[in-house]
Structure 1
């Protein structure tokens, strides 16, 4: 396990630098452990991992395949790291919210880093949180709460500033919603999601926006709810519906909507009360970037049913794949 130099290592071998220490027999083929790194006996590492200088990996740690752990990182008991994860230099994981010297919890909090996630240099991850798949944690961020899949978070405490792979579409502007110069709808690149321009009238008496159910709004609503007084750092939604259609209008202020059909995702800005977006069933929806005066009106085709919600993104993807296979 300790060839003289990595240039002679075969693709199936595990390379451990002569100044590194790997006590674990559970390291996948093609992985490399560099100088002054220490992997304890209970740790499990997948294939083709790169563990850089001065990394410490404790016993109750599971690391997936093709993971990069840059210099100066410690992976403590309770950490679960998915495949294709990047962990930047000096990123800090914690596993005890109330540490005391010589006092140990019965079980350390489990922290999960999803497949394809990236954690920037000097970020701090508090214990017990989950970082969703393909999320990106900015350099120096302090993650105090779980991070949704694909979310980009920065700051202390970390807050969502975007979603990886999204292309914002300012839905309230003429150029982004062209046509229509008259009321109507357009298909987006996300499944059956559509953007709508409602009837809008303005004169000296004020402005009026109106839509008719099953004509302008593509279903008959059985319920509505309003979302308002949302702190700008907060995120709403983060779920899909099995059967329920939703139609969103920001009747005051503005907010961003991310629509995801399980294959791609796109961000839209609702910044006028004459603009709406239709989220059909099995569309993962997220709302964030609320302005201080934002009031979001949501029309729903079904009465409330907890069973209609899909709140786990991995389950959502599983359901989408099963549907595609039929």
Structure 2
């Protein structure tokens, strides 16, 4: 297997990094958390113009996918910059509706790919909450062999991360598709959601490590940077190892998905465990080495600290993913 990105994929990552850096994403995240999604939705459309939301949408519906490797590249960058919104859910919805086909796919997938529609998603077995349903035009949910479309956010639920608002969709909704293919499409969508969340978690962990390394070079104690202390170096090295070991698992899972391998589900679960745990470990390291300043909301770091644990658990907890790996 080849785990190195090609020149085009690396340029895609660089272009997204430049776009998100210029967009002042921390300010966008703060606005999103405070209930002002306008700048976030503007950024959403710019990401759509860059092709992010078309990566999992089949070409017949206006997308360019499914492209798992490019999806991993994009979601890592979005996780590194802390982009808010139901990004993972939109990617998974592309897989779900593409698998179901029919009128619902023709109506919604071109809009998802172009960024003119923001959607969220609830799948049986992954929890009852829809992420950022208050800004989504529609929430798709699957239970058994039924695919339902619900408009309106439903009941809000407290969240560890104010920029990741959770809602429990109301009962009912319009049934837009039924049958065995709904269940099969939902299974594939769940795997893609787990995969995309792993990429986000890895990007989040890398951002936390980068910020922490920069901080310990500046903070001094006993007249020298704290980053020169051996214990600090060891902690940062352990964090880096965790992130670097997760990366090939993520790329390996992308290759398995691209090839339609029967072991893709287990590979994705392994990547999610590694990336989720590595990202959360990076958050703990960042908080410890920043000290009390790491708790303050004035520091942009706080938004990444709050996100690491929800990403570890979203779309497959560590225990659930380990069980999936053991199933093979």
TM range (shorter): under 0.3
From the two aligned structures, give the one with the greater helix fraction.
2
User: TM-score, normalization: structure 1?
Assistant: 0.22
Higher relative contact order (CA 8 A, sep 6+): 2
Larger Rg computed on CA atoms: 1
